[in-house]
A and B are shown apart, each in its own frame.
Chain A
Amino acid sequence: MKHIYSKKNRALLAELVRTDFKLRYQGSVLGYAWSLLRPLLLFAILYVVFVKVFPLGKGVPHYPVYLLLGLVMWNFFLEMTTQSLGSIVLRGDLIRKIRIPRWIIVLSASISALINLFLNLIVVMVFLFLNHVDLLMTTLWLPLIIIEVYILALGCSLWLAAGYVKYRDLNYIWEVIMQLGFYVTPIIYPMTRITSLTVKKLLLLNPMGQAVQDARYAVVTHGTTITKGVFSGGWYTYIPYIITIVVFITGLLYFKSQAKTFAENI
C-alpha cells in the first residue's frame, strides 16, 4: 500500500473514476443531472409512502430529513459495496493484460460512490433548509461519521471484490444480506418505535445502525437515539467501531492474499 500516493497511481485512480462517471450517464439526455435528480425522485416516493401514507415517524421532529439522511447514508454503503463487488471481475481485461495495483480498481469504485454521496448530501442540505431545521454545531461531526462508514464499506468491498473472483454466488448472497441489512438498520422506522431495550441495543451494535443514528443526531435532531443513550457507557459502545476496524483489516489482508491470482482466476 506504500505506493498509494505515487504520482502514477494517483493519475490512474483519477482517470478510472473519471471514466466511471462519464460512463454512468452515457447516452442519457439529462446526463449528470441524474446524479441529483435520481436521489430527489427516490426520496419523493419514500416521502409520500412513509410520511403521508404510513406515518411511521410521528413525533420525530423533521422526520422527512431524518428519513432522507438515513437513506443517503445507507445508499452510500449499499452502492459502494455492490459496485466494488463486481469491480475486479468487470475490469478483468485490465487485470489480465497489465500490471496495475489491484486495489486501485476497488478504490476507484469506492470514490465513485463517495462522489455520489456528496451529491446526495447536497440534496439533504436542501431539505434541511426547506424543513427549517436549525443548523446544529454537531454537523461538523458528519465527516467523521462518513469516514467510519467509508472504512466499513471499504472493508466489505475488499472482501467482496476479491471473493467474487472465485465465488460468483456472492452477488446474490450480498443482495440478500443488504436487503436484510436495510431492515435491521433503523432507516425507515425511528428508534422510538422500538419498545424493547435489548432490541434497541442490538440494532445499535450494528455499525451502520450506529452511524446512521449518529449522523441524524449530529445533523437533524439531538432527539435521536444514539449508542450512548441505550448503553450506560462501558466498552459495549465501542463494538461498532471494533467491527468496522476488524472488517477493514481482515478485508485488506484477504484482498492482498488473493490479488496475486486475480489474473488467472477471472
Chain B
Amino acid sequence: MENNSERLAIKVDQVSKQFKLPHEKVTSLKSIFINFYRRRRTFEVQEALKNVSFDVKEGEFFAIVGRNGSGKSTLLKLLAGIYVPNNGSVTVNGRLTPFIELGVGFNMELTGRENVFLNGSLLGFNRKEMEAMYDDIVDFAELRRFMDQKLKNYSSGMQVRLAFSIAIRAKGDILLIDEVLAVGDADFQRKSLKYFKQLKKEKKTVVFVSHDMVSVQEFCDRGILIEDGVIKAAGNATQIAREYTLMFENSHLDSDTKGYRNRDPDERPGNGNVRITGVAIDVNKQEIDIKVDAKVNKDVSELIYGLMVMGEDGREITGFNNRSLKRPNLTHLKSGSEIKFNWKIQNIFKSGEYSLTLSLVSTQSRYDDFVDAGFFKVNKEKHSNTAVLPEVSVKHTIT
C-alpha cells in the first residue's frame, strides 16, 4: 500500500472544532461593570465540526461539499492552518498554498501594480521573483492599461482577474480552493477551467470546496459531504454530488400540476400512426410522475418514445428517450392497441414552471410531436442550483 502514488497528502484525524460565540448584549453601563468584574461573559458553544476524519491522497482532486454553514469552510481553514482544531489532528505532507480566497490583502488605495507585489508576497514570492513574472501576470489578466491605477477604480471583475492571475502562479504541492470558480464572466471561467485541467494534468493535490456539482463531478476524484459539522457521506465525486443534490429533496415543496392541455391532435406534427391521447402529471417532493397514453392507429414496426423538459424561457433543460435510458424500442405494434407510458423523473428541479414535450418517432418517421403536452410547477424553499442529471425511469404496458 505504501507505494508513492498512495502517499497521503492530507490526513485529518478525528478533528473537532468549537467556536465560542459570546452573548454580547450589554444593555447598561451597570452591566458593563458587572461583566467587567466577573471577567466572564456568557457565551454559546457552537460545534462547527465533530469528529471529522478523512484522507486526501497525493495527486487527488478532493471535493468538500455541503450546505452553507455546514462547516466546510471551517474545515478548509483548519487544513490551511488558519484555525487550530480543539481535538484531533491535521497532518499535511507538502507545501500548501492556501488561497482560500482570491485577492487576500488587496488594498484599494494601492495601484494594481503595487497590489500584485503585495499579494505575491503573501503567496510566498519575493520581489525579484515577482518582477520576473509580473508581465505574465498582467498579460494574463489583460489589464496592462490599468496597472498604474488605484485598485478602487477597478471593477470587481477586473479585481478578480488580477487576483486570479497572481494566484495561479503560486507553486505548492497542495492547493486549497474555495469556490473561486464561482466568479467572473464566461471568459474568465474558461480560463479557470483551463487552469484546473492543468492542475489535474500536473497531478497536483487539490482540495476543492464548492456548491457547483458540475465542477465537482468533472474534476474531483473523491470527496466528502458535510452536514452540521459531521461527514454525511464519503466516496467518489459522482456519489457525493448525488447525495448533495438529494439533500435538497427534503425541503418543503408545494407542487401543483396544470397537466394536460387538450389540443387537436391533427394540428400536431407527425403522421399520426401513433398518437398521444392523454397526459397526466403528478409532482411530489421526490419525483415527477408522468403518465402518457397513446393509441396506435396503424401498424408500426418500431417506436421510439421520448420526453423533454423545458424551462420557463422555452429552452430545453433535460430530455430522455428509451434509447438514452438503454431500453429497447417497441416493435411490431398492432393497430388499435393502446400503450401506457409511465415516466418517473427525480425531482431535482428548482422552483419554477416547466413544460413537457413528448415525442413518438421511429428511425424513419415521426408519429407524434406534442409540444406543451403538459406543465408542472415546482415550489421549493431550498433548491440545488445544479445541472446534475436526474434519475429517470420509464415503464410501459401495451394493451
B117–A15 CB distance below 8 A: yes
Interface residues of B in 70-93 (CB under 8 A from A): 77, 80-84
Q: Is A22 an interface residue (CB 8 A)?
A: yes
A15-B84 contact in complex given A23-B109, A23-B110, A98-B104, C-beta closer than 8 Å = no
B82–A15 CB distance below 8 A: no
Q: Mark A9-37, 1 if CB is under 8 A from B, else 0.
A: 01110111001001100110000000000
Q: Which residue of A lies closest to B18 (CB)?
A: A264
Q: Which residues of chain A are within 8 angstroms of B101 by Cβ–Cβ distance?
A: 97
Bound-state CA distance A260–B82 (Å) is 8
Q: Is B100 an interface residue (CB 8 A)?
A: yes
A8–B126 CB distance below 8 A: yes
CB distance from B286 to the nearest CB of A (A): 40
Cβ-defined partner of A15 (8 Å) among B19, B77, B121: B121
Q: Is A52 an interface residue (CB 8 A)?
A: no
Q: Is B327 an interface residue (CB 8 A)?
A: no
Q: Is A94 an interface residue (CB 8 A)?
A: yes
A98–B122 CB distance below 8 A: yes
A22–B121 CB distance below 8 A: no
Cβ-defined partner of A99 (8 Å) among B80, B107, B126: B80
Q: Is A2 an interface residue (CB 8 A)?
A: no
Q: Which residue of B lies closest to A7 (CB)?
A: B126
B126–A98 CB distance below 8 A: no
CB distance from A170 to the nearest CB of B (A): 13
Q: Is A263 an interface residue (CB 8 A)?
A: yes
Cβ-defined partner of A14 (8 Å) among B83, B122, B127: B127
Q: Which of B105, B117, B120 has the most CB of A within 10 A?
A: B105
A26–B109 CB distance below 8 A: yes
User: Number of residues in A with C-beta < 8 Å to the partner?
Assistant: 25
A263–B83 CB distance below 8 A: yes
A8-B124 contact in complex given A97-B104, A263-B77, C-beta closer than 8 Å = yes
Q: Is A139 an interface residue (CB 8 A)?
A: no
Bound-state CA distance A94–B101 (Å) is 10
Q: Which of A12, A23, A96, A263 has the most CB of B within 10 A?
A: A12
B107–A96 CB distance below 8 A: no
Q: Is B54 an interface residue (CB 8 A)?
A: no
A22–B84 CB distance below 8 A: no
Bound-state CA distance A99–B118 (Å) is 15
Q: Which residues of chain A are within 8 angstroms of B83 by Cβ–Cβ distance?
A: 263-264
B122–A100 CB distance below 8 A: yes
A19-B104 contact in complex given A14-B127, A99-B80, A263-B83, C-beta closer than 8 Å = no
Q: Which residues of chain A are within 8 angstroms of B124 by Cβ–Cβ distance?
A: 8, 11-12
Q: Which residues of chain B are within 8 angstroms of A16 by Cβ–Cβ distance?
A: 118, 121
Q: Is A261 an interface residue (CB 8 A)?
A: yes
B110–A94 CB distance below 8 A: no
Q: Which residues of chain B are within 8 angstroms of A22 by Cβ–Cβ distance?
A: 110, 114
Bound-state CA distance A159–B2 (Å) is 47
Q: Which residue of A lies closest to B81 (CB)?
A: A99
B110–A98 CB distance below 8 A: no
Interface residues of A in 126-173 (CB under 8 A from B): none
CB distance from B78 to the nearest CB of A (A): 10
Q: Which residue of B lies closest to A15 (CB)?
A: B121
Q: Is B305 an interface residue (CB 8 A)?
A: no
Q: Which residues of chain B are within 8 angstroms of A15 by Cβ–Cβ distance?
A: 117-118, 120-122, 127
B82–A263 CB distance below 8 A: yes
Bound-state CA distance A132–B101 (Å) is 58
A11–B127 CB distance below 8 A: yes
CB distance from B109 to the nearest CB of A (A): 5
CB distance from A25 to the nearest CB of B (A): 11
Q: Which residues of chain A are within 8 angstroms of B96 by Cβ–Cβ distance?
A: 99
Q: Mark A79-118, 1 if CB is under 8 A from B, else 0.
A: 0000000000000011111111000000000000000000
B105–A93 CB distance below 8 A: yes
Bound-state CA distance A23–B104 (Å) is 17
Interface residues of B in 165-192 (CB under 8 A from A): none
Interface residues of A in 212-240 (CB under 8 A from B): none
Q: Which residue of B lies closest to A11 (CB)?
A: B126
Bound-state CA distance A11–B84 (Å) is 25
A19–B118 CB distance below 8 A: yes
Cβ-defined partner of B82 (8 Å) among A12, A14, A97: A97
Q: Which residue of A lies closest to B79 (CB)?
A: A99
A97–B84 CB distance below 8 A: no
Q: Which residues of chain A are within 8 angstroms of B107 by Cβ–Cβ distance?
A: 19, 23
Q: Which residues of chain B are within 8 angstroms of A26 by Cβ–Cβ distance?
A: 109
Bound-state CA distance A254–B158 (Å) is 41
A12-B110 contact in complex given A261-B84, A263-B82, A264-B19, C-beta closer than 8 Å = no
CB distance from B89 to the nearest CB of A (A): 14
Given contacts A7-B126, A8-B126, A11-B124, 8 further A-B contacts (CB under 8 A): A11-B121, A11-B125, A11-B126, A12-B124, A94-B105, A95-B82, A98-B99, A99-B82
**Residues in A lying within 8 Å of B, measured CB to CB:** 7-8, 10-12, 14-16, 19, 22-23, 26-27, 93-100, 260-261, 263-264
**Residues in B lying within 8 Å of A, measured CB to CB:** 19, 77, 80-84, 96, 98-101, 104-105, 107, 109-110, 114, 117-118, 120-122, 124-127
Q: List 29 A-B contacts (CB under 8 A).
A: A7-B126, A8-B124, A10-B126, A11-B124, A12-B122, A12-B124, A15-B118, A15-B121, A15-B127, A19-B107, A19-B110, A22-B110, A22-B114, A23-B107, A23-B109, A23-B110, A26-B109, A93-B105, A94-B105, A95-B82, A96-B77, A98-B98, A98-B104, A99-B81, A99-B96, A261-B84, A263-B77, A264-B19, A264-B83
Task: List the 9 shortest-distance A-B pairs measured between CB atoms, nearest first.
Answer: A11-B126, A15-B121, A99-B81, A260-B84, A8-B124, A12-B121, A97-B104, A263-B82, A98-B104
